[in-house]
Structure 1
Amino acid sequence: MKKKLFIFALIVVGFTSVVGQVLLLRELITVFYGNELSLGVIFSSWMFWIAIGSFFLGRQAGKFKQKLTLFIISQILLSLALPLEVLAIRLIRPILNIPPGEIIGFSFMFYSSFSLLAPLCIISGFQFTLGCKIYAESKKEAQAVGQVYLLDAIGDMLGGLAFGYLFVYYFSSLETVIYMAILNLLSALTLLFGVRPRYSNRGQTPADRQDIPVPQPDRNAGSDSAILKLVIVSLLIFNLYLLTGSRLSNLSKAITNFQWKGFHLVDEATSLYGNLVITKKGDLYSLFENGLLMFTTPVRIVSEELVHFPALEVPHPQQVLIIGDAVGGALQELLKHKVQRVYYLELDPAVIELSKKYVPLSDRKALGDKRVKVCHLDGRLFVKRYKKDKFDLVIINLPDPLTAQLNRFYSLEFFKEVKRIISKEGVLSFSITSNENYLSEEMKNFNASIYKTLKVVFPHVLLIPGESLIFIASLSPKFLTYDCKVLSGRLKRRGIKTRFVNEYYLPSRFYRERIDFVSSQLMMSKQAKLNYDFHPISYYYGLVLFSTYFSSSSQKVFYLLSKINLKGIIITLSLITLLLFAFKKKTYKSFVPLSILTTGFAGIALEIVLIFSFQVLYGYVYHQIGIIVASFMVGLVVGTSLMNKRLERLKKEVLSLAGLEFSLIIYALLIPLVFKSLSLQIDKTLIFLAVQVLFPLLTIIIGVITGLEFPLATKICLKELGGVEYTAGILYALDLIGACIGSLLSSVLFMPLLGLTNTCLVLALLNTATLILLLSRRGKQLP
């Protein structure tokens, strides 16, 4: 077999792994509604199963005689696993009778992602260790592991770039997985045809000896090869058959209809920002984005409350800004107030284009009114940049802050930005999930956190209780009132005709006893903290609240996690470090593997910090995930290549490893300063450079450090741990286990509870502990 064919196969492994990772991540985000908790759960599940495949299966690689045949079989299995997993993810809700729009509990999220990702990840992890063992038969073991790690990283890099710049724009998910299946099958087929059976080494040319050695075949090798070729060719024909005509499109429609069983599905679309679906029930149309209900139309009571409650608290609403849904009835109601200009911000153009087909004619006319200016721009960026006439009314019509992207519209920083663009008697209005009769401790914390944050900026706040708690905030109390007679009078004087919001309906919503009850409950809440962009505590309170809807066990877990603080983490890290240091004569061999574990932990945690910060600053990450992953892999390729070239000449291996740990510490400490500076930028050019250059560069740096460490640690551990399959398997597994734990803790715990600065401080302290342990073993001689 030609060496180039196996190199190509290893690159295909990495390529498929990353495309599969990003694709399945996007699919699962749609199922789990795209918050950072789901990202952490998915990443951790992915890393865990790859670690299982790498270590527990990979360590058995040396026992197989026909290693190359086993590698070919793994590629065939991979070509089957990826399409089947996409189908399983799409069908899991209807199979388990969980309707679209229903929020999924943490337990279901964890168990489903954990089980669905297992087959593909186990195969990928096994392929790495098996590839190392095959490659080591023609190279020195340390070089072989580093070379396979490099080739895998090159494939990862190419896969991330291909997905971020090609697949996401031009191919559906089903088309992508079919092309991935074809690529793996072609790679397996070329490996099969590249094998030249030989029973001895006599007669080989020097060129032959540069090939990857092929294990001596047994008597059944020929028949086995024929069977594999038949299987591969059959699968290739089947996949090509699916790509012809409209078969894949029809399959996709059938799957979507099954996903939405019980609903009358009338239309769907996929944009850069998510998956959109329109359903119909009677005369009502509902728009779902990534499975979450955005609006139902025509439901006038919702639109009337959204608009007229805050508009009646403003003397003359002339300039209006609405962020979020307005096409479902809000624009029509706003224009009744004889406004001069309405800025309607909707990031995704596909939302409006799809909605226009199904909203009533009156709403379509409102959308086309010359006073309405539609802007396809992130709401935060618009507010930061806006320098024209101040707004009399700002309405935020968005879901609860259950993601970093949404939390940024309920933070102290955002409220300060709104204060700058709002008139003296203007109002800001929004609503969140609540209850008018009883507030549980979880709901109280959730509501109180946002209420207290809002009061810091806007001293005068009206509360309108209900299933949704409506906030109406202003800098001046002059025009604010709870008096229903005054509000009814304003409605009549403006000549506004409404179906629901009138003198008979207002008293039921502005019920003074309920208002006083909710106000007193929120004011008395001592546990609730202020909500910030980079310390999104309301996001965590929201997760805790919604966990109570599903199981008491999830509620208890979140409650216990909320007790964790920076001081406790520092004490725990210090005790573990002191314990390992005290017994270093027995534990010093574990320090290098431990550095791989902590680097895996910090690397993925910092990557999630980058994704989280990108969400906070720029508001969308759905189509950027591939680019972020690709950037990390670019760094991995660069770092691994540099270390592989210097590996044999490097003498002070442990000291060099300690230096890399130090660089990771400095990086973690600098990240908060970078993002705090970026949050102040409003210049379009600087923002473009940050998105297109700085974020990828920051991700590349993480990859470079990780790429430099792995081959170096492998060289050290090969002298201490033994065989290549064992060493490669255990180090790769530790890297992934660290990443598994880091992704889960950083998304669920560190970022919402500790905030950006303290999260990065924890990561710096973690690697500081490893640095100290590595420096303490410098005097130990390697066996």
Structure 2
Amino acid sequence: MKRKAFLLGFYSIGGQVLLLRELVSSLNGDELFIGTALFGWLVSVAAGAYLGGTTRLGVRSTALFIAGVFVLPIVIVVARLSPLTVSNVVGEIIPFSTAALISIVMMLPPGIVSGWLFASITREGRAPAASIVQVYLFEGIGAFVGGVLITILAGGIVSTLEMAVLLGAVVIVGILPAYRKRKALLTLFAAISILAFSLVAQRTVSRFDCYIDGVKYESYRVEKSFDTHYAHQAVLWRDGSLILLTDNTVEAAYPDLLTAENLLIPPLLYKPDARKILFIGRAEFGIMQLADHLPGLSITALDPRRALSSKIDDVILTSNGVERIDNDPMAFFTRRQATDKYDIIIMNTGGLDSYKNSRLLTKRFLTMIKSSLTPGGLVYLPTRYDTDRYITAEQRALLSIIYNVLRESFNHVALWPGSMTLLFASDAPVLDIPYDSIINRLTNLEYAPQFISENYLYDRLDEFRMERLREAVSYSDQVNSLDRPLIPYYQVIYRAKTTTFDRHVVSFILSRPAWTVGIPLLIFLFFVLAGVGKQKKKRYGLFLYLTAGLVSLALELISFYVYQSSAGSLYAEMAALIGAFMLGLAFGTYYSVRVGRGRLEYPALLMLLAATVLFLATYDHINPQVLLFYHVCFLFVVAAATGSLFVAATNRYYPTGSETNRGAGYACELIGSSFGALFSTTILLPVIGLWWLLVALAALIVLAFVGSFLTARGA
């Protein structure tokens, strides 16, 4: 039973992490779908656990493991091809409601298998409480090992699909019967088999990765298809043009002189004496080539995807005149690795649907990069919002938030309308120059632009267009911040206009958040129902299960969000964060089992409350050098308290007898986790802010503590 529980944890964390990676990359890199996908995963695991505990089919765990091994890679392939259900246009944005539905549905098959496995394995023990806790303990250990292994390998060494096949090989070998006399020989054989299979599978599945992208982008030739720690990348070729796809979104194209000139020429018109430029983004798609025509200009490109650099060099002739730094922008500035000063910093952030990109548009980050500007230096932000002829209400909301963030950090901000709306910011009055001076500087450039010409600027900087844009950015006084990340939130509303359903339903849900009051009311109703009646002591165990799942999952996602926003390189350190949580879960469970059947819920809830309050008071004041250690410790403590609370809930709900549904408690915990996944960072974070979200979680813990005391004397 212990070995199977370990393999269950290994398989579950693998299915969860790998599918999350694949879904986010297939759904245009939008991290909001992590919440909806986790919701689908947890609901399906809960359903599987409940069905496995009530059904009389008697499906053996070995058969379920084998089914899961085949289901996972198949679902990953289907997830990658899922955008074809909407459109076969390369880089087409998938409507929010459709993408959310895809993220939930894709999680159902492996989730049901995982939940059913939990109930099936617990049936192999006699006493319900003891077997459930033991499976929960070793599942946590397996998840710890699997989480660390998968996070290290997936993206950096093997692709998501290759990792799924390798994971299946480990599970198949693990469920083979181990005979005592031949245990050492079987272990050696298993290790050799896994190594041989992984080497063969890596080469075969790698070709299959390219084949899948070939089916997905059938009108293009796939030059490269691979995963990094940050995204899924594809380089496509057609009719003499290269297209770089990042998470199924067009990031850049080559040749594209119009975009290249828009990215580099405008800031030089405000800072003609600029010599050193920092370009945040990929510079190989036009910027490098354009810089060769501007002698005396030194450009440094900053981007974390080291593996992408070598792949691009195979298909594009790059310039030695541009220095490339493989580092995350937030980590680069937070850890004070930016020792040089720059005349211009160009923030080519790309789409702002994700927290990964929008975190750069906060006062925290802009204040950091100001210290890397020379006196009179400027920050340049080209955006993808088209304000040439008409500005929608959604564009006004987004542009006003971006403008307010820049105004918060710099004394002067200038705007250019057009197919790409451009923003400039500086503390010096270098932006306050008349139109004639801009034209004069354009004619004095050593490079004669083909698109940004005098006639082009005369039309683009027309006073009517400029005044309309200035009026648009006064739409609201809201700002994007770590506490309340509004840009991805409004970006969802902006994207929601693509379909009739999204326009009427999703926009209502996201722009009128009063309905979220129903969430605490539902929780309180469950609290009341669980805490009354003759069997309130036993039944209240279900509320403790719910609390453990909801609070722990919400705090885990909050920690991920804060760490990424503060340090930048979340995916590179994900192994340590997931590992700490899983190890803490196993430790808390093991320690509580050793302690016995005391009032475990009291210290567990107090420990969870203390961790939440301490995080609330300190998360924004941590030295960047110890950020990883801080979040590792926080997640370990939260998980240890959750493991202990799970044991306490189990002792309450399963006092005696083996006839009780052994999947019910686990299912209830997962329902709580699904609520935490769906509502915490996906909806409530931008609506009420991080501070109030943590206060609400602390209030729930206090409510659970009071209820534990009131129901302690029940039957």
Correspondences of 1:79-118 after superposition (within 5 Å): 79-94=69-84, 97-118=87-108
- Summarize deviations over 1:604-647 as a string: whole Å, max 9, x none: 11111111112212223345445433322111111111111122
Q: Partner of 1:763 in structure 2?
A: 697
Q: Partner of 1:270 in structure 2?
A: 227
TM-score, structure 2 as length reference: 0.91
Larger Cα Rg: Structure 1 or Structure 2? 1
Q: Distance in 1 between matches of 2:434 and 2:361?
A: 23
Correspondences of 1:284-433 after superposition (within 5 Å): 284-334=241-291, 336-339=293-296, 341-359=298-316, 361=317, 364-365=318-319, 368-369=320-321, 372-384=322-334, 385=336, 388=339, 390-433=341-384
Residue 317 of structure 1, CA deviation: 0.9
Question: Is the contact between residue 88 and residue 216 of structure 2 (CA under 8 Å) also seen in structure 1?
Answer: no
Shift in alpha-carbon separation, 1:771–1:76, aligned structure 2, 3 A: same
Give the number of equivalent residue pairs: 701
Q: Residue type matched to 1:772 in 2? A: V
The 10-residue stretch of structure 1 (666-675 or 382-391) with the greater mean CA deviation from structure 2: 382-391
Q: Partner of 1:461 in structure 2?
A: 413
Q: Secondary structure at the match of 2:371?
A: helix
Q: Residue type matched to 1:382 in 2? A: F
- Summarize deviations over 1:683-714 as a string: whole Å, max 9, x none: xxx2xx533x3333322222211111112211
Question: Is the contact between residue 13 and residue 146 of structure 2 (CA under 8 Å) also seen in structure 1?
Answer: yes
Q: Partner of 2:709 in structure 1?
A: 775
Shift in alpha-carbon separation, 1:112–1:475, aligned structure 2, 3 A: same
Correspondences of 1:555-704 after superposition (within 5 Å): 556-564=505-513, 572=521, 576=525, 589-647=538-596, 650-651=597-598, 653=599, 656-678=600-622, 681=624, 686=625, 689-691=626-628, 693-704=629-640
The 10-residue stretch of structure 1 (707-716 or 387-396) with the greater mean CA deviation from structure 2: 387-396
Answering whether residue 36 of structure 2 is matched by residue 41 of structure 1, we say yes
Q: Partner of 2:184 in structure 1?
A: none
Residue 724 of structure 1, CA deviation: 5.4
Residue 92 of structure 1, CA deviation: 2.2
Question: Is the contact between residue 31 and residue 355 of structure 2 (CA under 8 Å) also seen in structure 1?
Answer: yes
Residue 126 of structure 1, CA deviation: 0.9
Q: Partner of 1:186 in structure 2?
A: 173
Shift in alpha-carbon separation, 1:387–1:263, aligned structure 2, 3 A: closer
Q: Residue type matched to 2:256 in 1? A: V
TM-score, structure 1 as length reference: 0.83
Question: Is the contact between residue 4 and residue 121 of structure 2 (CA under 8 Å) also seen in structure 1?
Answer: no
Question: Is the contact between residue 58 and residue 127 of structure 1 (CA under 8 Å) also seen in structure 2?
Answer: no
Q: Partner of 1:32 in structure 2?
A: 27
The 10-residue stretch of structure 1 (537-546 or 435-444) with the greater mean CA deviation from structure 2: 435-444
Instruction: Return the match for 2:650 from 697, 714, 722.
Output: 714
Question: Is the contact between residue 531 and residue 539 of structure 2 (CA under 8 Å) also seen in structure 1?
Answer: no
Q: Distance in 1 between matches of 2:172 and 2:659?
A: 28
Residue 536 of structure 1, CA deviation: 0.9
- Summarize deviations over 1:120-167 as a string: whole Å, max 9, x none: 11111011112112112xxx3322211111122221122112212345
Q: Partner of 2:685 in structure 1?
A: 751
Answering whether residue 106 of structure 2 is matched by residue 156 of structure 1, we say no
Shift in alpha-carbon separation, 1:161–1:725, aligned structure 2, 3 A: farther
Q: Secondary structure at the match of 2:617?
A: helix
Shift in alpha-carbon separation, 1:669–1:336, aligned structure 2, 3 A: farther
Q: Partner of 1:70 in structure 2?
A: 60
Q: Distance in 1 between matches of 2:306 and 2:496?
A: 33
Q: Secondary structure at the match of 2:450?
A: coil
- Note the residue ranges of structure 1 that are not aligned, 5 or more in a row: 1-5, 195-235
Shift in alpha-carbon separation, 1:87–1:374, aligned structure 2, 3 A: closer
Residue 376 of structure 1, CA deviation: 1.4
Q: Residue type matched to 1:331 in 2? A: M
Correspondences of 1:218-297 after superposition (within 5 Å): 243=200, 246-297=203-254
Q: Residue type matched to 2:472 in 1? A: Q
Q: Partner of 1:447 in structure 2?
A: 399
- Note the residue ranges of structure 2 that are not aligned, 5 or more in a row: 181-192
Q: Residue type matched to 1:24 in 2? A: L
Residue 296 of structure 1, CA deviation: 0.5
- Summarize deviations over 1:352-407 as a string: whole Å, max 9, x none: 22223333x4xx23xx12xx432112222333426756432111111132211111
Q: Residue type matched to 1:34 in 2? A: G
Q: Partner of 1:132 in structure 2?
A: 122
- Summarize deviations over 1:56-97 as a string: whole Å, max 9, x none: 33222xx45xx5x62222122112212221222223233654
Q: How much is the aligned-residue C-alpha RMSD, in angstroms? A: 3.0
Question: Is the contact between residue 129 and residue 725 of structure 1 (CA under 8 Å) also seen in structure 2?
Answer: no
Q: Secondary structure at the match of 2:499?
A: coil
Q: Partner of 1:59 in structure 2?
A: 54
Q: Secondary structure at the match of 1:452?
A: helix
Q: Distance in 2 between matches of 1:566 and 1:757?
A: 20
Residue 240 of structure 1, CA deviation: 5.8
Question: Is the contact between residue 27 and residue 94 of structure 2 (CA under 8 Å) also seen in structure 1?
Answer: yes
Q: Distance in 2 between matches of 1:541 and 1:449?
A: 9
Q: Distance in 2 between matches of 1:32 and 1:265?
A: 19
Q: Secondary structure at the match of 1:147?
A: helix
Q: Partner of 1:734 in structure 2?
A: 668
Q: Partner of 1:7 in structure 2?
A: 2
Q: Partner of 2:164 in structure 1?
A: 177
Q: Secondary structure at the match of 1:481?
A: coil
Q: Distance in 1 between matches of 2:249 and 2:679?
A: 25
